[in-house]
Structure 1
């Protein structure tokens, strides 16, 4: 259903560093960047190498960049190890723990995930939901 999604961030360089590391753990890479220090509408996009962006961060004024209450974004992970690496990289690069890697049987018998909050307050998840 979704083609792509964008999030507003207050510091594009800080956010790009965070997402470069956390999304790399899941196999996603920076597929484009429009970085012009000091200018508006800067952006960085992520997806699979050689393809378009599926996730984008965009520089916004502090007053207009806020994480929505109840907003949650889950990224697909290729395996449980990637769920662990996503969580580790997030914490190493300015994210906050919101639930360590592990099974979440209340979401289903094969649901394995970790949860973090990015430096701008966006709630993120890495998940694999298939039999091992």
Structure 2
């Protein structure tokens, strides 16, 4: 499990509109972090783990870093198929494009239900729920 991850974007307001739509559909929140970044968190009471999204280069990144070379893949855990469906609908309404309609995926497809949409910078954003195998 990660404590935090982060990546850079070109246009903060455009990225924020997309990420606010995705977060709301999954019961997450978007909060300000600085003038050039925001965070996606579970809630104001549970701020870890978080996803940092911003336009500046963090001070701890050195010149050797390949800064946010797109596309990256970020997968958010959904609580249900309904949340996955809501995520997909919300990000498309926020200007996103379909990169995988909600449905079963992967080798354990019967137990994983996901949807994908590229964000405005081309990063592949996923919402998915793992389900118990049918008895």
TM-score tier, shorter chain, comes to 0.7 to 0.9
- Compute the TM-score of the two structures, normalised by the length of structure 2: 0.80
Say whether the 8 Å CA contact 1:66–1:121 is kept in structure 2: no
Q: CA RMSD in A?
A: 2.0
CA distance in 1, matches of 2:4, 2:106: 29
Question: Which residue matches 1:88?
Answer: 89
Q: Which runs of 5+ in 1 are unaligned?
A: 36-41
| Cα separation, 2, equivalents of 1:87 and 1:103 | 14
Query: What is the deviation of 1:10?
Result: 0.6
2:54 corresponds in structure 1 to 58
Please give the TM-score of this superposition, normalised by the length of structure 1: 0.82
The alpha-carbon deviation at position 32 of structure 1 amounts to: 3.4
In structure 2, stretches of 5+ residues that fail to align are 58-66
| 2:18 corresponding residue in structure 1 | 18
The alignment covers a number of residue pairs equal to 122
Q: What SS does the aligned partner of 1:109 have? A: helix
1:47 is aligned, of 24, 41, 44, to 41
